Structure 1
Amino acid sequence: MTTVLSSQPNALPRHPLVSVLVPSYQAGSYLSLLVESMLCQSYQRWELLILDDGSGDLDHPDVQEVLADSRIRTFRWSPNRGVSQAFRFLMEEARGDFWCYPGADDLLSPQFIEQRLVVLDRHPEVSLVFGKGRQIDSHGEEIWVDECQKTFDLLKPLEE
């Protein structure tokens, strides 16, 4: 999972808006879970931008039920243009002071945004925050792929 909060190194705005940018391609069955994890965030000043990159993900029945929140904006295009162009488009649409880039099949813990903003507030010289993710199976049970664990072990010295 690649998720970051990033901005220019400055003092943290009083109540910053966080833009969550999600390009989606063939991930419709997961999107509703990501949206639900956004709706459960302890920090509520966010916007969620989802781009359906030509696969009809926004038409998935589970997704339609969770898109009513006014902080969620959706976009579509066809044919598929790829994640780089999708991300670029979403960056241009973002209104936030900071941005975050989870995968369309990711879940965010309820304190995900809040905890990263705390780091940015305590360390105004920091412009990028990266957190350790967990891999889970379809039942929500934590699993690890050996190579992922090795990567996180290498990043351990950077946690502070």
Structure 2
Amino acid sequence: MKDAKVSIIVPCYNQAQYLDEALQSVLDQTYKNWECIIINDGSPDNTTEIAENWIAKDKRFKYYYQENAGVSSARNLGITNALGEYILPIDGDDKIAKDYINHAIEAFEKDISLKVVYCKAEKFGDETGNWNLAPFSLKALALDNMIFCSAVYRKRDWELVGGYDDNMQEGLEDWEFWIAFLKNGGNVLCLDITGFYYRIKLVSRQKKLDTVIKDKLFNYLSMKHADFFVQYLGSFGALNNNLLKEREAFSRKLKSEKFVLDLFCKTFFGFTIFGKINKK
């Protein structure tokens, strides 16, 4: 297993200005048995030119082009043509630490029950700092996604779930994939290293998701994986009841904090923050 091939899948759409950084982080890996498949998802920029430069630099880089069909389709194209036993997706504007793959493969070697290996993450770009994600559990996964796309897994497991869902073109495709991937079992490990660097941009695909699109995606998820959500969160009636309780608790807390702050300001400064100014 130490010599297992890892296929790194890099879909690109309008990310040419960042692609060199992403691919340099691949080239810098201490683990050497990898191939890197770059998929141009119909991008109108100079992705092709940059990809060809990397192919000339190292034969382990490969390149495919498709008409724009979304990140799920692009990843599926790359993985379909991948020769590796293991898969590691990386978006064209992100980066990985040089020892990330080495640590991941070592983890798989030590524990054959592992299905997904990921790591701690750090933000860079327009925002910096640790990306503090919730610890993994299936119940937590039912509430929100905590595994970014750049985790390592076996190609055969990707095949078993039918790949990434092409219907999730507008976002949340990673969340859907991990639900499909893990809901029927399999152990998950988060490495105690910072191995993934997530670029934050002022404008991104996820930030463009409006309420209507989000509602559509959530509805699709809830129908496709209704068994999963009911198993870990209960019936939809129970969910609604819990949501009402949380809102009531938050409202009480907010009123309490407002009361304390108003009392403090009135006592020491002669006015209230939230109410009408009272002069002494």
Question: TM-score range, shorter-chain basis?
Answer: 0.7 to 0.9
Residue 31 (structure 1) aligned with residue 16 (structure 2): no
Deviations for 1:67-121, whole angstroms, at most 9, x for unmatched residues? 321000001122x111111111111101001000111111111101101011111
In the alignment, the residues of structure 1 paired with residue 75 and residue 62 of structure 2 have an alpha-carbon distance, to the nearest angstrom, of: 14
Match of 1:59 in 2: 48
Compute the TM-score of the two structures, normalised by the length of structure 2. 0.45
Offset at residue 57 of structure 1 (A): 4.3
Structure of greater relative contact order (alpha carbons < 8 Å, 6+ residues apart): 1
Match of 1:89 in 2: 77
Q: Structure 2: which 5+ runs fail to align? A: 138-188, 192-280
Judged with a 3 Å threshold, the aligned counterparts in structure 2 of structure 1 residues 87 and 155 are, in CA distance, closer, same or farther, namely same
Judged with a 3 Å threshold, the aligned counterparts in structure 2 of structure 1 residues 97 and 103 are, in CA distance, closer, same or farther, namely same
2:73 is paired with a residue of what secondary structure?
A: helix
Match of 2:124 in 1: 136
2:55 is paired with a residue of what secondary structure?
A: coil
1:114 is paired with a residue of what secondary structure?
A: helix
Decide which structure has greater helix share.
2
Alignment counterpart, residue 93 of structure 2, candidates 105, 108, 132: 105
In the alignment, the residues of structure 1 paired with residue 109 and residue 66 of structure 2 have an alpha-carbon distance, to the nearest angstrom, of: 37
Which segments of structure 1 move beyond 4 Å, counting only runs of 4 or more? none
1:155 is paired with a residue of what secondary structure?
A: coil
- 1:107 is matched by which residue type in structure 2? K
Match of 2:195 in 1: none
Q: Structure 1: which 5+ runs fail to align? A: 1-12
Alignment counterpart, residue 155 of structure 1, candidates 127, 130, 135: 135
- The percent identity for this pair of structures is 25
In the alignment, the residues of structure 1 paired with residue 72 and residue 190 of structure 2 have an alpha-carbon distance, to the nearest angstrom, of: 28
Match of 2:259 in 1: none
Alignment counterpart, residue 8 of structure 2, candidates 20, 36, 39: 20
Number of residue pairs matched by the alignment: 138
CA contact (8 A) 2:117 2:190 kept: no
Match of 1:74 in 2: 63
- Structure number with greater Rg is 2
